[in-house]
A and B are shown apart, each in its own frame.
Chain A
Amino acid sequence: MTDATAPDPPSLFERYRVPLGLVVLVLALRPVVSSDLLLGFEAIANRMLILMLFVAAFNLLFGFTGLLSFGHAMFLGFGVYVPAIVVVNGLPGLPPGGSLTFLAGVVLALLAVAVFSYLLARLIVGKGEIYFALLTLAVSQAVYFVALRDPGGLTGGSNGLTRGALPAFVEQSRGHITIHAFGLSVDWYWVVGAVFLVAMVGLWQVLRSPFGRTLVAIRDNEQLARAMGVDTTSYKVWSLTFSGLLAAVAGVLLEINNSGASIENLGVLTSGDTVLMAVLGGINYFFGPIAGTFTWLFAEDFLTDFEVLHLPTAEVSLVSVDLGPAFQFWQFFLGALFVVVVLTAPEEGIWGYVRSLSARVKRRLVER
C-alpha cells in the first residue's frame, strides 16, 4: 500500500530508503545472479536491470495511475528502433556507426516517443479503462506491423536490424560488452546500472511529488478526485507520457545490449509479459516490478537450464532424477505462481509477501 502520511515528518532514512535500496540492488545483482549456486553467468544481470526499468515504467501507468496498457512494447520499440535506424543509416553530416550519430538517434528517439505518447494519450485516455487497454493493444499492433513491413528498408522487417547497429563506442566480444568513452573503458553493466539508477530515482521522485500523489488519488477514486477539482485527464496524459519516455530509455539500453533491434521487441508477447511481470511482483509497490522481473527472468533461465536434480543425501545415480523435460515448461510453473499470487494477493504480489514477512519478523524481534 502507498504509505500513509504519518503526522510526523519521516526520518532521513525513511525518506531515502528507496534510492538506497536501488543502489544496493545495482551493486548486488550481478554478483548474486552470477554465483554458481544461481545462474552462473553475468550477462543476465544487464538484461534484468533493463527490463526492470521497463516494467517499472509500465507500472507508473498501471499500478500508480490505474491505467492498464496492453501495448507497452511500442514505447520500448521506439527506444530500440530509432537509434538503431539512425546508427545504421547515418544522418546528414553524421556517418553510419558513429558515436555522435547514435547519441543523435537517442535524442531523436526520446523526443519522438514523448510526442507520440502525449498525442496518443490525448486521444485515448478519456475513453474508459477497457477501451484504453484495447486501444493501446491496437496501436501497438499497428506499430508492429509497420515495422514488419520494412518501410523504405529502414526497419529490416522480420530480421530486425543487427548489422552495423552498434556505435563505435561499444565493443562487443564473445557476449561481453565494453563501453569506450573519453579514454576510459567501462564494463557495460555499470553503464546500465548508472542509467537505471538515474531513471529509477527520477521515477521515484515523480511518484513522491505532488504530481505523483495526485496520480495515486486518481487511481484510488477518480470520481472523488474530479469532484475535488483535479483535471484527471491531464494527469493521465502526463502519466502516459512519462511512462512512454522511461520505457524508451529502457529500449535504448536494450538496443546496445542485444546489438540491434529485433521485431520481438515490438511484439504483443513483450507487452503481455510486462503486464504479468508487474502483477507477479506487486503493482502497488515501487519495488514490485523489480521483484516481478527478477523472478520472471530468473525462473526463465534457471528452470530452462535445469536438467538433473541431484538429491543431496544420496550419491547413487539411481536417485538422480532428470527433471529437464519437465522444466522445459518453465512458463507453466511461472503461470502457476502467477495464479497463486493473483488469487491470494492481487496488487500485493511477491513484494507484498516480502514486506509482510519482514514486518512479521521485525515484530517478533521487537517482542523479544
Chain B
Amino acid sequence: MTRPSDEGRLDGPAQDAPDSGRGGSGRGVEPEMDPQSAVLGVADLTRTFGEIVAVDGASLAVEAGELRAVIGPNGAGKTTLFNCVMGALAPTAGSVYLNGRDITDDPEERRPHLGMARSFQSNLLFGDQSVLENVRLVVQTARKGAFSLDLFRPHHDVGRDRAAAIAETVGLDADLGTEAKNLSHGDQRRLGIAMALATEPDVLLLDEPTSGMSPGATAQTAQLIQDIRDDRGLTVVLVEHDMDVVLSISDRVTVLDRGQVIATAPPAEVQNDQAVQDAYLGGMREEL
C-alpha cells in the first residue's frame, strides 16, 4: 500500500516494519507460528472500505492459553481486524482460522457455537432486561444452538442457575435483578464479558474492555481478565488502547499501524522496539 508521503513520523524504519513483523526477522520480534496450527489464526487479512485500506495483510497466530493484546494508534485498524475475525465484517482478502479450521466464510452467528466469543467496545446489551436475563439468553442460545423452536416451557427454566453462576464470576451476583441499562459503566462492561463467557468459548475476544473506566475500575477489570484466563484456561485476545493494561497482563503484544502488523513480542520488548515507539508510543505522546 502506498502511504501518504507527507507523513513525517513514519520514515525509513517503519516502512520496513511490516515485513519484519510478519516474517519475524531480527529486532527482537518473535517468529510467529503458522496461523493454521494456532488456536486463533489470521492469515494475510485485508479489508478495504472503498479507497481506504483499514487492514492491510495482517497475520496473527495466537497460541492456546495465551493472553494476546493487539494495540495500535487510533485508526490503526484494530476494530476492523476484530470485526473481521468475529465475522461482523467480511474480509476483502485473507483467512481466519479457529483450531486449524478455516472459518472465514462462517456467518457471525455461528462463531459463538464454534468456540469464539466477543465483547463489544460500546456497551451493547439488552438494556431493558435484567442482568440475569441478559446472561440467561446467551446460556440458552449456547445450549440450544443458533435456532431452536423451544416453545413448550417457560423461559426461566432454561439456564437460570448457570447464568447466575457466570454473573457471579464477574462480580455481578448482587445485581441479578437490575436492568442492564441501570448498571454503572464498569458493571455494564463486566456484564458484556459475562455474556461472552456464557457462550463457553475457547477464545475470548475483548474489544477495549477498559475504555471509559476509572483507573481503579481498569485495574479491577484487568485482574478479572487475568483470572478468567487462569481459571478457565481460555485464550484471550484483547484489543486495547490503554498501554498500562496491556503491559501488565498480556503475554505477547501485537502492534498494528495503518492496518499492518509491525511487531509481535512480549510487552517488555515491544516497549523498546524502535518502530513501535515511532508509530505508536510517539503517536500517544503527540496525542497527550
* Partner-B contacts on A (CB < 8 A): 1-2, 4-7, 9-10, 15, 205-206, 208-214, 216-217, 220-221, 223-224, 226-232, 234-235, 238
Contact A230 B146 (CB under 8 A): yes
**Closest CB in chain A relative to B121 CB, distance in Å:** 12
Contact B140 A214 (CB under 8 A): yes
Tell me the bound Cα distance from A205 to B127 in angstroms: 23
Question: What are the 6 tightest A-B residue pairs by CB atom distance, in nearest-first order?
Answer: A229-B112, A231-B146, A4-B130, A234-B147, A231-B147, A210-B150
**Closest CB in chain A relative to B5 CB, distance in Å:** 39
B162 CB-CB contact with A under 8 Å: no
List the A side residues contacting B129 at CB < 8 Å: 2, 4-5, 216-217, 220
* Partner-A contacts on B (CB < 8 A): 86, 88, 108-113, 117-118, 120, 124-130, 132-133, 136-138, 140-142, 144, 146-156, 158, 160, 164, 176-177, 179, 195, 199
The majority secondary structure among interface residues of chain A is helix
**Closest CB in chain B relative to A204 CB, distance in Å:** 10
Contact B155 A213 (CB under 8 A): yes
**Closest CB in chain B relative to A4 CB, distance in Å:** 4
- Given the known interface contacts A5-B136, A7-B176, A228-B138, the answer about A211 and B127 at a Cβ–Cβ threshold of 8 Å is no
- Given the known interface contacts A221-B126, A231-B146, the answer about A210 and B133 at a Cβ–Cβ threshold of 8 Å is no
Nearest chain-B residue to A232 (Cβ)? B109
List the B side residues contacting A235 at CB < 8 Å: 147
Contacting A227 at CB < 8 Å: which of B86, B113, B144? B86
Contact A210 B148 (CB under 8 A): yes
Contacting A205 at CB < 8 Å: which of B128, B147, B151, B179? B151
Contact B120 A224 (CB under 8 A): yes
List the B side residues contacting A213 at CB < 8 Å: 133, 137, 140, 155
Tell me the bound Cα distance from A212 to B127 in angstroms: 17
- Quick one: which of A212, A231, A234 has the most chain B CB within 10 A? A231
**Closest CB in chain A relative to B237 CB, distance in Å:** 15
- Quick one: which of A1, A210, A231 has the most chain B CB within 10 A? A210
List 4 extra interface pairs beyond A4-B179, A213-B140, A228-B141, CB under 8 A.
Answer: A2-B129, A5-B133, A221-B124, A228-B195
Tell me the bound Cα distance from A72 to B136 in angstroms: 33
- Given the known interface contacts A5-B132, A205-B151, the answer about A224 and B124 at a Cβ–Cβ threshold of 8 Å is yes
**Closest CB in chain B relative to A131 CB, distance in Å:** 20
List the A side residues contacting B120 at CB < 8 Å: 224, 227
Contact A223 B148 (CB under 8 A): no
Contacting A220 at CB < 8 Å: which of B126, B140, B155? B126
Tell me the bound Cα distance from A211 to B137 in angstroms: 10
Contact A227 B112 (CB under 8 A): yes
List the A side residues contacting B111 at CB < 8 Å: 229
**Closest CB in chain B relative to A103 CB, distance in Å:** 25
The count of A-to-B residue pairs whose CB atoms sit within 8 angstroms is: 115
Tell me the bound Cα distance from A240 to B129 in angstroms: 23
List the A side residues contacting B113 at CB < 8 Å: 229
Contacting B155 at CB < 8 Å: which of A4, A212, A226? A212
**Closest CB in chain A relative to B69 CB, distance in Å:** 21
Contact B128 A229 (CB under 8 A): no
Tell me the bound Cα distance from A261 to B243 in angstroms: 71
Contact B140 A229 (CB under 8 A): no
**Closest CB in chain A relative to B48 CB, distance in Å:** 22
- Given the known interface contacts A5-B133, A220-B126, A229-B109, the answer about A211 and B177 at a Cβ–Cβ threshold of 8 Å is no
Contact A220 B133 (CB under 8 A): no
Tell me the bound Cα distance from A221 to B148 in angstroms: 19
Can you identify 7 A-B contacts, CB atoms within 8 angstroms?
A5-B136, A9-B156, A209-B155, A210-B155, A211-B150, A227-B112, A229-B142
- Quick one: which of A4, A15, A229, A230 has the most chain B CB within 10 A? A229
Nearest chain-B residue to A10 (Cβ)? B156
List the B side residues contacting A227 at CB < 8 Å: 86, 88, 108-109, 112, 118, 120, 124
Nearest chain-B residue to A209 (Cβ)? B151
List the A side residues contacting B149 at CB < 8 Å: 211, 238
List the B side residues contacting A212 at CB < 8 Å: 151, 155
**Closest CB in chain A relative to B190 CB, distance in Å:** 16
Nearest chain-B residue to A220 (Cβ)? B126
- Quick one: which of B88, B156, B177, B179 has the most chain A CB within 10 A? B156
Nearest chain-A residue to B154 (Cβ)? A208
List the B side residues contacting A209 at CB < 8 Å: 150-155
